[in-house]
């Protein structure tokens, strides 16, 4: 069969980490191409490709690459842990290396491939200051003045974490969407619901800001593990069972490390007509 890829299109890669799915565009050597319109069009699961987040790889001085993240509604995401792991896997596979350093809105982060093949990413220190999360005013981050007694943690994006008896029965479409734009979160928030299921083990479900329900959220898993430890529910090394798989969180001195699986699903090619229609 003849290769039908147009010479003037744009290649992309579809990957997922624990069911959290991404479109990855490598813009190194060509300049950034993602825009709010293009991200929203690509994120449409009927008329585009579909994803939870878009990750664009860019050239940068002083690190292996830079990463920009976009939600499926076309808004920017300040952090995306599972996409960071997927891109790190992609780059390390291409170079044959076992570690990378990359720049995001949070600063310079690092990722490694473990001996068991899983990818670990250092998501940096949690943000535990109300201005940094950010919140609208100074309140107790571990006990927000919101029904349900949630906690707030910043991981480069804001998170509102509820600890409940059974995360599996939470009405996520209703509860998550209602909390995303709560007035206490001026830039909106990701919303996590978690329950303790064993020693240092949590069941977590998530509603992501700008994306809705996703099968996993890396920064959300980090925020939940941090909040659980600060609440005295777990230690600093926590396993989380999400709808899409299992993530391991280890809050170390140098930052919050997240480890989990990655998968390359397929490679595709965006036509120049599609790109031109969504400047």
pLDDT digits (tens, 9 = 90+) for 218-233: 999 999 999 999 999 9
Tell me the per-residue pLDDT of 119-136, one tens digit each, with 9 for 90 and over: 999 999 999 999 999 999
Mean pLDDT, rounded, of the chain = 96
C-alpha 25/C-alpha 255 separation (Å) is 27
Q: Which residue in the list 80, 86, 160, 222 is annotated as catalytic?
A: 80
Distance of CA 221 to the CA centre of its chain: 9
* Residue 1: predicted pLDDT: 37
Q: Which two tokens stand for residue 244?
A: 């899409």
Asked if residues 155 and 225 have their Cβ atoms less than 8 Å apart, the reply is: no
Q: Was domain 151-253 assigned CATH 3.10.310.10?
A: yes
Confidence of residue 8 (pLDDT cuts 50, 70, 90): confident
pLDDT in tens, 194-216: 999 999 999 999 999 999 999 99
Identify the CATH number of the domain defined by range 10-123+262-276.
3.10.310.10
Helix (H, G, I), strand (E, B) or coil at 211: coil
Whether 160 sits among the annotated catalytic residues: the reply is no
**Of all residues in the chain, what percent carry a pLDDT higher than 90?**
96
CA trace torsion 263, 267, 273, 279 (10° rounding): 30
- The burial of 166, by beta-carbon neighbours within 10 Å (0-12 exposed, 13-18 middle, 19 or more buried), is given as exposed
Mean local confidence (pLDDT), 17-31: 96
- Angstrom distance (rounded) from CA 119 to CA 197: 25
Mode of pairing for the β-strands spanning 201-208 and 212-214: antiparallel
Q: DSSP class of residue 188?
A: -
130 contacts: CB under 8 Å, gap ≥ 6: 137, 138, 139, 141, 152
Token look-up 């999360």 returns: 133
Of the listed 86, 160, 217, 222, which one is catalytic? 217
**What average pLDDT does range 48-73 have in this prediction?**
97
Asked whether the domain spanning 151-253 has the same topology as the one spanning 10-123+262-276, the reply is yes
Express each pLDDT in 134-183 by its tens digit: 999 999 999 999 999 999 999 999 999 999 999 999 999 999 999 999 99
Cis peptide leading into 134, omega within 30 of 0? yes
Q: Is 80 a catalytic residue?
A: yes
> So what's the pLDDT on residue 4?
52
In this prediction, residue 5 has a pLDDT band, given cuts at 50, 70 and 90, of low
CA distance 59 to 62: 10
**Rounded average pLDDT over 94-112:** 96
- Does the pLDDT of residue 3 top 70, yes or no? no
> What are the residue ranges spanned by the domains of the chain?
10-123+262-276, 151-253
The pLDDT value given to residue 7: 59
Report pLDDT for 139. Answer: 98
Q: Please give the backbone phi and psi of residue 229, each rounded to the nearest 5 degrees, phi first.
A: -65, -45
């Amino acid at each position: 069969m003849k290769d039908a890829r147009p010479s003037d299109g744009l290649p992309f890669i579809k990957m997922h980490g624990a069911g959290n799915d991404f479109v990855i565009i490598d813009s190194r050597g060509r300049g950034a191409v993602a825009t709010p319109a293009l991200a929203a069009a690509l994120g449409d699961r009927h008329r585009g490709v579909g994803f939870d987040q878009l990750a664009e790889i860019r050239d940068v001085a002083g690190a292996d690459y830079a990463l920009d993240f976009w939600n499926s509604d076309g808004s920017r995401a300040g952090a995306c842990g599972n996409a960071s792991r997927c891109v790190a896997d992609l780059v390390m596979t291409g170079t044959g290396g076992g570690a990378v350093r990359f720049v995001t809105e949070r600063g310079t982060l690092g990722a490694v491939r473990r001996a068991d093949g899983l990818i670990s990413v250092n998501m940096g220190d949690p943000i535990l200051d109300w201005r940094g999360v950010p919140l609208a005013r100074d309140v107790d981050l571990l006990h927000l003045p919101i029904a349900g007694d949630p906690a707030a943690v910043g991981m480069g994006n804001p998170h509102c974490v509820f600890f409940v008896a059974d995360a599996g029965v939470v009405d996520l479409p209703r509860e998550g969407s209602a909390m995303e734009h709560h007035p206490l979160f001026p830039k909106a928030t990701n919303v996590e619901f978690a329950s303790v299921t064993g020693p240092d083990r949590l069941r977590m479900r998530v509603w992501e800001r700008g994306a809705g329900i996703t099968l996993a959220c890396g920064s959300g898993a980090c925020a939940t593990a941090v909040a659980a430890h600060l609440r005295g529910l777990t230690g600093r090394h926590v396993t989380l069972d999400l709808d899409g798989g299992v993530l391991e969180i280890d809050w170390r001195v140098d930052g919050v490390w997240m480890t989990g699986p990655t998968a390359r699903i397929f490679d595709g090619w965006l036509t120049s007509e599609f790109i031109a229609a969504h400047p």
